[in-house]
Amino acid sequence: MNDTRRTVDARGQACPQPVILTRKALAEGGFDLLEVLVDDASSLENVVRFVGYAKCAVEAVETEGTTSRILIRPAPPAPATAEPRVFATPGPAPAPAPAPQPATVFIASAGIGAGDDQLAALLMRAFLYTLTESETLPMRIILMNGGVRLAVEGSESLVNLRRLAERGVEILACGTCLEFYQLKDALAVGRVSNMYEIAGLLLQGRTLSL
Amino acid sequence: MDLIATFPSSQAALGAEQALKGEATPVELIPVPRQIRSDCGFCLLVQGAEGACERLRACGAQELWRVTATQAGPSSRKVYSYERYP
């Protein structure tokens, strides 16, 4: 059997980029085997750990000098849960298909909801913590306006954003907003993005706005 | 040993977190696990909590619960169970 192979070259990329690139490739699919190249030990560890979370299998790890080649077999797609048609007495209508999971969580303030700022901040902390315990995760979190504060040094939510980043959730913080709050150098997780990228991602749909 | 400390209110939990921040035992303010209480609220997750019980009660903790995490494999989801402590 000839396995089709896709290669992701994550050499020279800082953590958690290798995990993010691996996750993106697995989400795209279209191959039998994914080959990820890394050149540092913690990236190797993080990608292997992520593959476990993603319920895929690491088939092999080959190391040559400083480069490691991780061979990943994606999990087989979930079987279709169509009920067999039985021509008997009519039963209840089939349940509508559940809505697809959000790919993007859009956070445009440091708290959730309006009413009391302290409560809003607490709710955001709780939400991000709960997200880290969740089985399915969004592909990315986009931070704008007050939301960028969550990702800077000293943020109470930094630890949870870092946990999410380790599991392959891309954290994108609007550059204009960071600059406005003079926090550009204080970004402690994720990377700086811009309105073009952010608007493009939001327009793809499947976004949860907090 | 990891402990969950519950408080009479979320504000009290927040106050306790502020009081204990920076001390030797790491504390984290998290939503109360559903197995302990079904209504929303915050509690403290205290890691390596040996010896922290007195301090937690002094900060207003109502109940202490020991946390046990079981994991099928290194990358499997953790499953938590709680029992009243002591």
The pLDDT tens digits for A15-52 are: 788 999 999 999 888 899 999 999 988 889 889 988 88
Percent of chain A predicted with pLDDT > 90: 62
Whether residue A15 contacts residue A41, with contact meaning beta carbons closer than 8 Å, is answered with no
Going by pLDDT thresholds of 50, 70 and 90, the confidence category of residue A108 is: very high
Q: Report chain A's mean pLDDT, rounded to a whole number.
A: 88
Closest CA to A56 of A38, A34, A39: A34
A52 with B28: Cβ contact below 8 A: no
B30 with A122: Cβ contact below 8 A: no
For the ranges A94-98, A147-151, A194-198, which has the lowest average pLDDT? A94-98
A125 with B77: Cβ contact below 8 A: no
B74 with A49: Cβ contact below 8 A: yes
Q: B79 versus B55: which is more confidently predicted? A: B55
- Closest partner residue to B31 (CB to CB) among A50, A53, A130 is A130
**Within an 8 Å CB–CB cutoff, is residue B35 touching chain A?**
no
- Closest partner residue to A125 (CB to CB) among B29, B73, B77 is B29
User: Rounded to the nearest 5 degrees, what angle is found at the Cα of B27, between the Cα atoms of B23 and B30?
Assistant: 155
pLDDT tens figures, B23-77: 888 899 999 998 888 777 899 999 887 788 888 999 999 999 999 887 766 666 7
Give me the total of CB pairs closer than 8 Å, taking one residue from chain A and one from chain B.
24
Closest CA to A51 of A10, A9, A19, A86: A19
Greatest mean pLDDT range, A46-55, A107-116, B1-10, B37-46: A107-116
d(CA A136, CA B73): 18
d(CA A205, CA A203): 5
Q: What is the pLDDT of residue A161?
A: 97
B74 with A122: Cβ contact below 8 A: no
Given a cut of 70, is residue A81 above it in pLDDT?
Answer: no
Chain B residue with minimum CA distance to A48: B75
Given a cut of 60, is residue A88 above it in pLDDT?
Answer: no
Q: What is the pLDDT of residue A178?
A: 93
Q: What is the pLDDT of residue A68?
A: 93
Chain A residue with minimum CA distance to B33: A130
A126 with B73: Cβ contact below 8 A: no
Residue with tokens 């993005």: A193
Q: What is the pLDDT of residue A154?
A: 93
Q: What is the DSSP-derived secondary structure letter of residue B68?
A: E
Given a cut of 70, is residue A109 above it in pLDDT?
Answer: yes
A129 with B31: Cβ contact below 8 A: yes
Given a cut of 90, is residue A1 above it in pLDDT?
Answer: no
Q: What is the pLDDT of residue A84?
A: 56
Nearest Cα of chain A lies from the Cα of B84 at a distance, in angstroms, of 22
Chain A residue with minimum CA distance to B79: A133
